[in-house]
Homo-oligomer: A and B are copies of this chain.
Amino acid sequence: MVNSIALIGGTHGNETSGIQLIRNWQDFGLPTRFDELNVSLNIANQAAIDANVRFIDEDLNRQFTFERLATPNNAKEALLAQTLNQKFGPKGESNTDFVIDIHNTTSAMGATLIILEADEFHISLARYVKHQMPEANILLEDEKPYLEHAYLCTTGKRGVMIEVGGQPQGVLREDVYLLTEAMAEAVLDFCVAFNNGTLATVQLPECEVFRLGENITFPLDEAGKRTAMIHHALQDKDFEPLLPGMPIFRTFDGHDITWQGESTTYPHFINEAAYFKLDVAFATAQRIVL
């Protein structure tokens, strides 16, 4: 049973669609078909929202490893993480069955559900969401065990993220808002079906999932300065197949740099603003079927 569900917006203060969805459901109520669920509506980082920034001191969504939670740190978000871990966790022995954390991205990733495990629950969830919302993308980040992730959603017994784009930081687009709402409702619809035991009666078809590979960084010169930008042929092509030899960067002196991987990959988080300081250009993924 998924008895307690925490729905969270504003983990990053300039990601408006999740913040607005939480506020609207607080103001107008959840759709009545979710009345049987025990859903709490939460805003994670009000200070960052007020400042219209991703975070004040440190990225809140990178605070939730056991090690960081056990290490004294006076950064605003490190202190906030302690509070949130008590509220939604504590991580590892959580009082919350399911944490759903809502984000948006400047990348053209559409409505993406990020799952961190490929167990029976999450396979059913992925299939259910994809069945209800065929335009959705499912991204699987299982390169390490669930509890080793630093994400806020891992404070729950189970946790997922909703990631929708493209939307500039600090801007609310209706199309992104509606996709966010539709995906949040699909996840909650799954919870209703899971609790009612009606999932077993439905034969959910297998679904396409993108399994995270690695981060690809921008080419840099010796001083660490970027020498190229995302190629126009790659821009906005999140989750589309990238074949060896296809252009990925355009250098500032006018040359193309091509994809040198051994096989086709599925890039995502292409040109995401928040990863710009880390010089991350995009992430790769493998296409699998769950």
Contacts and interface: CB of A to CB of B under 8 A. Distances in A.
B231 A171 contact: no
Interface string A202-220: 0000000000000000000
Contacts of A230: 172-174
Nearest to A231: B174
Given A229-B177, A253-B28, A171 B276 contact: yes
Contacts of A171: 106, 168, 271-273, 276
A52 interface: yes
Given A177-B229, A229-B177, A252 B20 contact: yes
A277 interface: yes
A13 B273 CA distance: 14
A240 interface: no
A232 interface: yes
A167 B229 CA distance: 14
Contacts of A92: none
Contacts of A135: none
Size range of the chain A interface in the assembly: 20 to 34
Interface in A1-50: 20, 23-24, 27-28
Contact of A273 (B23, B169, B271): B169
A276 B173 CA distance: 12
B235 A174 contact: yes
Contacts of A169: 168-170, 273
Contacts of A174: 229-232, 235, 250
Contacts of A175: 232, 235
A231 B169 CA distance: 18
Nearest to A175: B232
A232 B177 CA distance: 10
A252 B28 contact: yes
Interface string A155-192: 00000000000111111111101100000000000000
Contacts of A277: 52
A271 B232 contact: no
A253 B25 CA distance: 10
A187 to B, nearest CB: 21
A184 B115 CA distance: 45
Interface of A: 20, 23-24, 27-28, 52, 106, 166-175, 177-178, 229-232, 235, 250, 252-253, 271-273, 276-277
7 contacts: A20-B229, A20-B252, A168-B169, A170-B276, A173-B229, A173-B271, A175-B232
